């Protein structure tokens, strides 16, 4: 069964460092998303991506964040200069054409 | 704006007990409603959904009915199993599809003991 895969599963970084989280969406999907969940809080929408551009972003997704689809398979989330409050579980998701959203297992980011 | 509120967890039940996890929402228009489940070490998976008032979503013995009059979408199961232990998330989307931006509740940790 096709699935969304995310790497790394856990990353520990120092405050101020750049972090790239990687996702491989399901191959025939066209819409891609990043969500995050700070420990003990709700899962929050960050950004959606379609046709090689951001289609929607939340107020959380500020200039420190960027997304990219550098090739035909990967979808990355970059945090330019991490802050303590960026510590969270980051979920990638994809869908074909507003069908069911398929989520990856998440990447846990710990900022020290 | 849109919001989803779930009953606070964690919830601990014995096997074969009846499960209810409450979910209420605030939204404009006619959102679609979902329950997602996250088993240990796995990603979020769609459990069931309902796209209009009075619809009942069901899957794996779980059910939830879209109640517009009470703005609720409570999750129920008549007899839980140990394998149902997971985190359950209620969510809504603004469009009558599964794939648009989702607004999630806090998640409810369910533990079922043998």
Considering only alpha carbons, which residue of chain A is nearest residue B10? A40
Q: A89 is written with which tokens? A: 């579980």
What percent of chain B shows pLDDT beyond 90? Answer: 73
**CA B91 to CA B86: how far, in whole Å?**
16
pLDDT score at B1: 80
pLDDT tens string A43-85: 999 999 988 899 899 999 999 999 999 887 899 999 999 999 9
Q: A6 is written with which tokens? A: 């995310």
CA of A43 vs chain B CAs: smallest distance (Å): 6
**CA A47 to CA A44: how far, in whole Å?**
10
- Of the listed ranges A36-50, B22-36, B95-109, the one predicted with least confidence: B95-109
- B9: which chain A residues are within 8 Å (Cβ-Cβ)? none
A3: burial class by Cβ within 10 Å (0-12, 13-18, 19+)? middle
Question: Is residue B97 scored above 50 in pLDDT?
Answer: no
State mean pLDDT over B39-63: 92
Q: How confident is the model at residue A110 (pLDDT cuts 50, 70, 90)?
A: very high
Chain A contact present for B105, CB below 8 A: yes
- A44: which chain B residues are within 8 Å (Cβ-Cβ)? 104
What percent of chain A shows pLDDT beyond 90? Answer: 74
H or E element in which residue A89 lies? strand A88-95
pLDDT score at A99: 65
**Which residues is B13 bridged to in the sheet?**
B112
State mean pLDDT over B58-74: 96
Query: Cβ A56–B103 below 8 Å, yes or no?
Result: no
Question: Is residue B98 scored above 60 in pLDDT?
Answer: no
Tell me if B64 sits within 8 A of B5, measured CB to CB: no
CA of B4 vs chain A CAs: smallest distance (Å): 9
Question: Is residue A98 scored above 70 in pLDDT?
Answer: no
**CA A87 to CA A94: how far, in whole Å?**
23
pLDDT score at A48: 92
pLDDT tens string B70-81: 999 999 999 999
Query: Cβ A103–B45 below 8 Å, yes or no?
Result: yes
Q: How confident is the model at residue B42 (pLDDT cuts 50, 70, 90)?
A: confident
CA of A50 vs chain B CAs: smallest distance (Å): 12
């Amino acid at each position: 069964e096709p699935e969304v895969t995310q790497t790394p599963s856990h990353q520990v970084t120092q405050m101020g460092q750049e972090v790239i989280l990687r996702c491989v969406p399901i191959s025939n999907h066209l819409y891609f998303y990043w969500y995050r969940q700070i420990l003990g809080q709700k899962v929050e929408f960050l950004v959606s991506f379609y046709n090689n551009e951001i289609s929607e972003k939340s107020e959380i997704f500020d200039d420190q964040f960027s997304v990219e689809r550098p090739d035909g398979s990967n979808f990355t989330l970059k945090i330019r200069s991490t802050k303590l409050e960026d510590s969270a579980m980051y979920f990638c998701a994809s869908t074909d054409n507003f069908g069911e959203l398929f989520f990856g297992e998440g990447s846990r980011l710990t900022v020290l | 704006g849109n919001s989803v509120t779930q009953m606070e967890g964690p919830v601990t039940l014995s096997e074969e007990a009846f499960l209810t996890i409450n979910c209420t929402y605030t939204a404009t228009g006619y959102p679609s409603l979902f329950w997602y489940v996250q088993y240990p070490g796995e990603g979020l998976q769609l459990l069931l959904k309902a796209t209009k008032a009075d619809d009942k979503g069901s899957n794996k013995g779980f059910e939830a009915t879209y109640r517009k009059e009470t703005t609720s979408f409570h999750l129920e199961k008549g007899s839980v199993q140990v394998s149902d232990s997971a985190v359950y998330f209620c969510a809504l989307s603004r469009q009558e599809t599964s794939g648009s931006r989702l607004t999630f509740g806090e998640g409810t940790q369910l533990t079922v003991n043998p």
